[in-house]
Amino acid sequence: MNNRISKFILDDRDISKNSYIWNMAGSMLLAFQSVIMLMILTRVLGLIEAGILTIAYANANLFQNIGKYGMRNFQVSDVKAQFSFAEYKASRIVTAIAMVAVSFIYVIYTAINNDYTVEKTQIILWMCLFRVVDVIEDVYCALYQSKNRLDIGAKIMTLRQVITLIVFGVGVVILKDLLLALVISTVVTTLLLVFFIKCTYGFFDIKPEKAEWKKVSMLLKVCFPLFAGAFLSFYIGNAPKYAIDAMLTDELQACYGFIAMPVFVVGLLNNFIFNPILFRMSILWEEGKKKEFVIRTACQVGIVGIITGVCILGAYLLGIPVLSWLYNTDLAPYKTELLILLLGGGFLGLSGLLNAVVTIMREQKKLMWGYGIVSILAYACSNKVVAAYGMMGAAVLYTVLIGALCVIFAGMFIYGVTKKQHQEGVASA
């Protein structure tokens, strides 16, 4: 059994094609993970539980950035092997522990301030633990991608997501208990990851070596701007949800989660298109092929625009009926909010693209300025806007915040290209 699974995952026929297909499948499943969970919950348990899962998922996504530390793009683009895999893995253990600790402190603090029930508090904490598994998986998938085997990591992610969602769905239906279903799903997905890594890691014949903690510390320091940027990015994206949690009801939280879901689908669609060429773009920049690098970036921007336009048109025609059916909830009052949020989804995809190319250019420290400015804006305005304008305020707030990020990152990209051109001019003089 183990041999058959290993053979399937490690199959090296048409690696490029399989990388695209499986990365797309895994990204889609990840995008639709909360969609499927909420579909099940609204039919089995109701809107209140769906609202609790929505804020739990938002918190888990936020704290997951502590665990991942924004390191994926840096690790994949480390073409000179500045750091060993042992050091990447050691740093990931440190950040995963930090993720759990910070999650616990924040959730308890918020539970006291927002008067959560004990069950709601436990659900949010377990969702954070559930996403820790993604954090550990990510460092191995980045290793496989850096070895030009993105397909292996994508297969692992896809298979694990499918089985985990089945377990969660069956658990909710049979047990009628969100918390218990989440606990079981966390245990199962952990065991699955251990199994899949055991089946694949040995294929790459990575020499056993000890991590140099001095270099681990250096790695954490170098990637801190990426972590801070990713953390603040998710805070910005979820600021409307935190405001709804503080100012409105769990039922409205659920409705916002329903209409906001396509936003992240748009973002991830753009992500899986860009991910397979990330390594190649790193090579282009390292080799000084600036013109080709800029052209490829511009093509990706065009793809983001096309995907966003198609999604907005589809949402205008069919979005509300489909979402209302999916979630067994009348969402007709929120059609305008849905379209506004999808525009924000396009900005999300574009900001992710620009974040990646700026990282490849090794100008990642400058990303902090963009995230910092917009985070301050989000913190200052979110509760006031949502309290005054409800769901419409939340939708407009999201789109304006993410749009502001895109404008700032575009400026950083232009700066990086201009700086490179200037350096080349000086060198040739």
Instruction: Please tell me the predicted confidence (pLDDT) of residue 269.
Output: 66
Domains identified in the chain, total number = 1
Instruction: Please tell me the predicted confidence (pLDDT) of residue 396.
Output: 93
Kind and range of the H or E element at 267? helix 250-274
Instruction: Please tell me the predicted confidence (pLDDT) of residue 428.
Output: 55
- Render each residue's pLDDT in the chain as its tens digit; 429 residues: 567 777 777 766 777 777 778 877 887 787 778 888 888 988 898 888 888 998 898 899 889 989 998 888 788 877 777 888 889 999 999 999 999 999 999 999 989 888 888 999 999 999 999 999 999 999 998 888 888 788 888 889 999 999 999 999 999 999 999 999 999 999 999 999 999 988 887 777 777 778 788 889 999 988 887 788 778 878 888 899 889 988 888 888 888 888 887 887 676 666 666 666 677 777 877 767 777 878 888 888 888 888 888 888 988 888 899 888 888 888 888 999 999 999 998 888 888 888 888 877 777 677 788 888 999 999 998 989 999 888 899 999 999 999 999 999 888 888 777 876 666 665 555
Instruction: Please tell me the predicted confidence (pLDDT) of residue 19.
Output: 78
Q: Which of 117, 420, 124, 138 is nearest to 275 (CA)?
A: 138
Instruction: Please tell me the predicted confidence (pLDDT) of residue 127.
Output: 94
Q: Are 47 and 329 in contact (CB under 8 A)?
A: yes
Task: Compute the CA torsion angle 156, 55, 398, 401 (nearest 10 deg).
Answer: -80
Instruction: Please tell me the predicted confidence (pLDDT) of residue 31.
Output: 73
Environment class of 85 (CB within 10 Å of its CB; exposed 0-12, middle 13-18, buried 19+): buried
* pTM for the model: 0.76
Residue 211, amino acid: A
Instruction: Please tell me the predicted confidence (pLDDT) of residue 272.
Output: 62
The whole-angstrom separation of Cα 239 and Cα 352 is 18
- 318: DSSP letter: I
Cα→Cα distances 52→127, 253, 254, 303, 397, Å: 11, 8, 8, 35, 22
Q: Are 253 and 55 in contact (CB under 8 A)?
A: yes
The whole-angstrom separation of Cα 402 and Cα 97 is 29
Q: Which of 138, 54, 157 is nearest to 96 (CA)?
A: 138
Environment class of 12 (CB within 10 Å of its CB; exposed 0-12, middle 13-18, buried 19+): exposed
The whole-angstrom separation of Cα 98 and Cα 411 is 33
Instruction: Please tell me the predicted confidence (pLDDT) of residue 231.
Output: 83
The whole-angstrom separation of Cα 314 and Cα 215 is 49
Instruction: Please tell me the predicted confidence (pLDDT) of residue 182.
Output: 95
Domain that holds residue 96: 2-428
The whole-angstrom separation of Cα 19 and Cα 152 is 8
Q: Which of 86, 427, 34, 407 is nearest to 238 (CA)?
A: 34
